[in-house]
Amino acid sequence: MFHGMGAGREPTTSAVLGDLIEAARRLASNPNGSALPMSWSQENGAAGETSSVSSIDGLQSKYYLRLNVADRPGVLAQIAQVLGDGDISIASVIQKDADPHIQSAELVIITHPAREASVQESLRKVVELNVVREVNNLLRIEE
């Protein structure tokens, strides 16, 4: 069921109901009662077949990082140094308008593909910088 030109009330309801029906169908069709992943099918994963789960540390992805930082010279250089030391390359940086009353700015950094372990370790170091007030978001960018 599709409605309108965008994702509004009715299309969202249709998508949610479709997901619920699919989940219920999969639960009903699995004899041991546990839900199978939506991507599972008899063709790509038979019962009793073993598979391994890779460590997330080796995952390579672009990242979106949003920080609240002190609005003064050298802040970006300090953050870039920590990321560079962690072998993380910056693809783009955007600084939102600074708030002069509290002398802080919002910094958005998009990285080139980097390893999850490197990003997490570098983020721990970035948080320790006295110019970083808060890490607002860290998101993987899937392409």
pLDDT tens for residues 88-115? 999 999 998 787 888 899 999 999 999 9
CATH code, residues 59-141:
3.30.70.260
Using CA atoms, how far residue 9 sits from 5, 12, 21, 32, 78, in Å, is: 11, 5, 18, 36, 45
pLDDT score at 7: 52
pLDDT tens for residues 13-34? 777 777 777 777 766 666 565 5
CA–CA separation, 117 vs 86, rounded Å? 9
Q: What letter represents residue 20's amino acid?
A: L
| Structural domain spans, the chain | 1-44, 59-141
Q: How many CB atoms lie within 10 A of CB 44?
A: 8
- What Rg, from alpha-carbon coordinates, does the chain have? 22
